[in-house]
Structure 1
């Protein structure tokens, strides 16, 4: 009995083949495939089938009569896919058992489902077809998935197929409707719209209207500058903003040349470690820290995954299940100089329990390093890998302890507040320095002491309009409104 394993790309096929044995590498029609005994590991190159009109000889609207066809028949740009599809069709004739080893998500199911029914001529729902489920491409994960095959998740495949049909109907028909409308009005122009693209554009347009219609309002702030231990310290009026200039000036005139410390409030703040990354939070952090766009982050993370350095990135989960061998991963990371001391400290713990977030994904865990040491990374890959590793390690660390202090001063009849905070124990922050942590130390004050007032400033300011969306903030908003999928949101932003 011969087995055909279908993968989503050649690099994954090679990694699976090497995990299963000593593969023979073959080239057929210029496309690669691998053989381990009677097992054939044959790659696709993403989607080998796409939707098209049945009668595509002329431009019409609306269109509802569509069918699946090989991508190279639809677009000349996809001619490269032809030998891969022909290889699968030919090798499938020699096989009587089929395994889907594409990415375990809706798109991976669609890719394999179409290949199985059209190229392999086999029913994806039959007993001849099984599924490998893995979240990392380490040898151990691949062997475990091969030994524990699961039935085809038909629901996931049908969900993906349905989304493709809906995207096509919405995208093509609305785009053609818009194009016809514009042509009738002012000439020939092609416009595009889609089921996700349209609502996303509305979010952007609504924000732009808010900005354009915004009318700034003036307000005033009162700040006090006092001398403490020879240094200047600034405080703000307890009222915050004054919307009436007369009231602000009156408050300023009520102040004297001295200020007395009336209250000192101290509070200890415990901050738990951050949870591990899902795709959206990884994209958000990468843009905030490195200005790497969400789409670039996804592409980099996908490459790190394909090389078995991190787990599957297209996940909504912020949880690390207990069946992951955390200790082994951290032990391997200790071989990297940057993480050596961190890993040693964590490995000294009797138990390793991560801080998990609220979001979950039944298909894949949160993004984490696999423990496979990267051989060579470019500068952006290093940044994303370091971000993922430090976030992962920080989830096992101790809490950060801070102290916040609020000092209340009275000058004349007016009350001012000086606020500050200091880190007592950095805890996880010593590992994940990328986090935003407010740390503004202020001098030690004594209740009842009198301070010299250097200056009272009356600051005139204006309210500001809402900020325009950034590539990362629009992806966050799309997720909040459930627009698109974790894998497609960044692509929509690039349009």
Structure 2
């Protein structure tokens, strides 16, 4: 049976993305072409979700830039025990330096007396089954896989029949998938044999389901079609192991963790130390190396015991700006604000990387990304609206629910898009000039290859019309004529350090389809004397 409402909902989303992407990307590219003096052609892109996502990341960058640190002080007491025990003042942060110094003076030369001991056992529930977002988050956390890479690996495992459909937002595992059969089959893989037997001994198999549902698909789970693990690539094996262990862990009993807090009195000032340990692992046994908890076991102490204070410390600290998003955390954050879908978020994030709008695993906005985002916000504010994108997502959901027709949503989108296009055309020249300025700045930065080894000025990537080749040349030309050849057909970037032998810049060379490598600029450097020579010690 064909679910017509689901089909219509999918078509609505496809039409919206097509209309937004093709029109806005063309408008952006033409604004540059019609206004620029140097960059007459440069593909720039914008989209219904891509641009609000860029704006979302820019907002975090602005928060970091405008952040003003506030100083505070922390006081610690180190006890003369074996091993040493470090206590923190119960106030944790002192915002008044004078007060911190008064406490420090008050405690100097005094003993620490145990005044209070508390132990508390806490149950830690098993994790919920994987939906796509949580799988991408965990895969980044443990393997540093990008969200796009995770879905690509998961797709291969799904196509081979080893896991269920991965593009799901569900945290539900219905009994109809066959818990017993799946666990039995997993037991045929040596790594899971003992875990499988343990689970099958339970009186009842009941997963710790989460709240999220997906009417089309259950949560991600391993199927009865188990793989020959020797035939899996390293990445496939990593992700499969994570999925299997997460699936098994959801059936486990809650883990029992004990928190132990000891309060000390040092001349009327309260200090504390807190430890925690796992008493019963339960589900953690199934999750294995992915169940990471800090284990800090404190020594046994009794109320009234006296200990010598070996050292008092006052640490000067400052509040820290918000952290940049990682590739794992941004996917989770975008889901929480309903930007994009479970399937598109990773792809759109990758598009932002491919366009050069963002960089790094700790996501940072590039100069061109910032300028594109700021220019669109300034001249075409509707295009960066997260609220507008969310509204269309909600209306697409209403199409699925049968409350409105696809044509209504698409026609409404065309009206909004027409206004956005008019704003583009009205501000085309101003927008294009700002974009060119950012492109020139970015290009100039990318061309820098560190200091010249002769005069200390900047080495740059330059092009010779005569030889039709790129080379590294000093920006001090014609006063300084130092040049070095560069590898052809490659992307060259400066690594920010110099060679220990020749003192020229270290560059990274990236060629399509080949492993990247680093080298210094000087072709006659001692570091290259063995290049091209075969290692005779290696037997054929």
Please give the range of the TM-score, normalised by the shorter of the 2 chains. Answer: 0.5 to 0.7
Select which of 216, 238, 242 maps to 2:94: 242
Q: Which residue of 2 aligns with 1:127?
A: none
Using the alignment, how far apart are the partners of 1:444 and 1:367 within structure 2? 44
Q: Which residues of 2 match residues 473-488 of structure 1 at below 5 A?
A: 473-488=329-344
Select which of 27, 51, 58 maps to 1:177: 27
Residues 257 and 454 of structure 1 are in contact (CA less than 8 Å); yes or no, is this contact kept in structure 2? no
Aligned-residue offset at 1:438: 2.6
Question: Highest relative contact order (Cα 8 Å, sep 6+), 1 or 2?
Answer: 2
Using the alignment, how far apart are the partners of 1:169 and 1:395 within structure 2? 42
Q: Which residue of 1 aligns with 2:281?
A: 426
Q: Which residues of structure 1 form unaligned runs of 5+?
A: 1-150
Aligned-residue offset at 1:244: 1.6
Select which of 325, 335, 347 maps to 2:188: 335
Q: C-alpha deviations, 1:142-169, integer Å up to 9, x for none?
A: xxxxxxxxx2111111111111111121
Using the alignment, how far apart are the partners of 1:193 and 1:425 within structure 2? 52
Q: Which residues of 2 match residues 152-231 of structure 1 at below 5 A?
A: 152-187=2-37, 188=40, 189-228=42-81, 230-231=82-83
The number of aligned residues is 344
Q: Which residue of 2 aligns with 1:251?
A: 103
Q: C-alpha deviations, 1:311-331, integer Å up to 9, x for none?
A: 110000111002121111111
Greater CA drift, 247-256 or 185-194: 185-194
Using the alignment, how far apart are the partners of 2:119 and 2:60 within structure 1? 40
Q: Which residues of 2 match residues 278-289 of structure 1 at below 5 A?
A: 278-289=131-142
SS of the aligned residue for 1:285 comes to helix
Q: Which residue of 1 aligns with 2:121?
A: 268
Q: Does 2:299 correspond to 1:446? A: no
Using the alignment, how far apart are the partners of 1:169 and 1:378 within structure 2? 39
Using the alignment, how far apart are the partners of 2:22 and 2:161 within structure 1? 38
Greater CA drift, 176-185 or 397-406: 176-185
Aligned-residue offset at 1:422: 1.1
Using the alignment, how far apart are the partners of 2:292 and 2:63 within structure 1? 28
TM-score under structure 1 normalisation? 0.68
Using the alignment, how far apart are the partners of 1:437 and 1:359 within structure 2? 25
Using the alignment, how far apart are the partners of 2:223 and 2:104 within structure 1? 61
Using the alignment, how far apart are the partners of 2:142 and 2:263 within structure 1? 35
Q: Does 2:147 correspond to 1:294? A: yes
SS of the aligned residue for 1:478 comes to helix
SS of the aligned residue for 2:158 comes to helix
Using the alignment, how far apart are the partners of 2:85 and 2:48 within structure 1? 54
Q: Which residue of 2 aligns with 1:409?
A: 264
CA RMSD of aligned residues (A): 1.2
Q: Which residues of structure 2 form unaligned runs of 5+?
A: 352-540
Using the alignment, how far apart are the partners of 2:308 and 2:225 within structure 1? 61
